[in-house]
Amino acid sequence: MELENVSASKVAGGWHKQYCFDSKTLNSKTRFAIFLPPNATEEKPVPVMYWLSGLTCNDENFMQKFGAFQVASRLGIAIVAPDTSPRGANVPDDVDGSYDFGLGAGFYVNATQPPWNTHYNMYDFVVDELPNMIERHFPVSSKRAISGHSMGGHGALMIALRNPDRYSSATAFSPITNPIKVPWGQKAFSNYLGDNRDNWEQYDTCKLMRNFSGSPVPMLVEQGDKDDFLHTQLKPDNLLTAVEYEKYPLEFRMQHGYDHSYFFIATFIEDHIRFHAKNWMTS
């Protein structure tokens, strides 16, 4: 699988690089970005934090706006940010051009319904194809953490709950915690997965939390109390109910005055990276 280097910039003593490749999972060309700290070598590979972005985003949003390079460089952590969705001339989009479905809104599921099932297989891409490629081509270890924002926060928590053996920790900012209960999730799941709501539950964090068994993945969730989507799309109270039901090791922090923006994430991203580093040390 050939990687095409799109860009490279030195930052915080390490390197930020973008790559494209033809994804077999997505049946399209896709792009990801990677930050490699200065201590990353073949002799001493470093752990990786995978970042999943939210609606309308791509790999550039986190890398350019969240200010995570300095702390990742000091701690010796690589960061990988894939695109949120398959893209390309032949990839279907919402016929109405809506921002919350289609291109930029893959929701990190494996679509089962045509025409979406040809390309929209972001779950398999994030869990298998992307990390396999990263670990083959870059000086990183198999120690992985996963984080995300909004739709990406949904993806990070859901993927960690379904794959507790693959991730040492998971964190999320403003996650869509209960997508089967909110308009964003209902629109995406009905189109990608069909009308059988039993099929939706495998991608719903609250449902997965209530049915979890095995060794839990430590989690940290950050939420702003001035988030415009707090009660209509995110529903953190539903997550907290599930956490209490399962006694799951999840730390939830409600931050006064913060909204859904990148300013919120930039304020607390260092805490999340340090959370992952702490869990790598104890795993």
Beta bridge partners, 252, equal 221
Instruction: Identify the residue whose tokens are 């795993």.
Output: 283
Q: Convert 214-229 into a string of H (helix), E (strand) and C (coil).
A: CCCCCEEEEEECCCCC
Quickly state the pLDDT bin for 1 (edges 50, 70, 90): low
Quickly state the pLDDT bin for 96 (edges 50, 70, 90): confident
Nearest CA to 226 out of 185, 189, 267, 198 is that of 267
- Is the pLDDT at 165 greater than 90, yes or no? yes
User: Which of 149, 154, 260, 276 is the catalytic position?
Assistant: 260
User: Which of 59, 83, 204, 227 is the catalytic position?
Assistant: 227
DSSP state of 110: B
For the chain, domains (ranges, CATH) are: 4-282 (3.40.50.1820)
pLDDT average, residue stretch 205-219: 94
The reply to whether 150 belongs to the active site is yes
User: Which of 150, 168, 169, 174 is the catalytic position?
Assistant: 150
pLDDT average, residue stretch 131-151: 97
Residue 4 CB coordination number (10 Å): 11
The whole-number pLDDT of residue 25 equals: 97
> What is each CA distance from 61 to 68, 97, 234, 248, in whole angstroms?
12, 21, 20, 31
The whole-number pLDDT of residue 95 equals: 82
* The two three-digit tokens of residue 126, written as one number: 């994030």
Residue 80 CB coordination number (10 Å): 24
The string over 35-52, giving b where at least 16 C-beta atoms fall within 10 Å of a residue's C-beta and e elsewhere, is bbbebbeeeebbbbbbbb
The whole-number pLDDT of residue 20 equals: 97
Q: Are 34 and 16 a contacting pair, CB within 8 Å?
A: yes
- Percentage of residues in the chain having pLDDT higher than 70: 99
| Strand, coil or helix: 51 | strand
Nearest CA to 29 out of 70, 83, 76 is that of 83
Task: Say if strands 28-36 and 78-82 run parallel, antiparallel, or are unpaired.
Answer: antiparallel
- Is the pLDDT at 282 greater than 80, yes or no? no
Output the pTM of the full model: 0.97
The reply to whether 256 belongs to the active site is no
Instruction: Identify the residue whose tokens are 């999972």.
Output: 25
Quickly state the pLDDT bin for 2 (edges 50, 70, 90): confident
Instruction: Identify the residue whose tokens are 């869509």.
Output: 176
The whole-number pLDDT of residue 39 equals: 97
The reply to whether 283 belongs to the active site is no
The string over 90-102, giving b where at least 16 C-beta atoms fall within 10 Å of a residue's C-beta and e elsewhere, is ebeeeeeeeebbb
| Strand, coil or helix: 280 | helix
- Is the pLDDT at 275 greater than 90, yes or no? yes
The whole-number pLDDT of residue 283 equals: 64
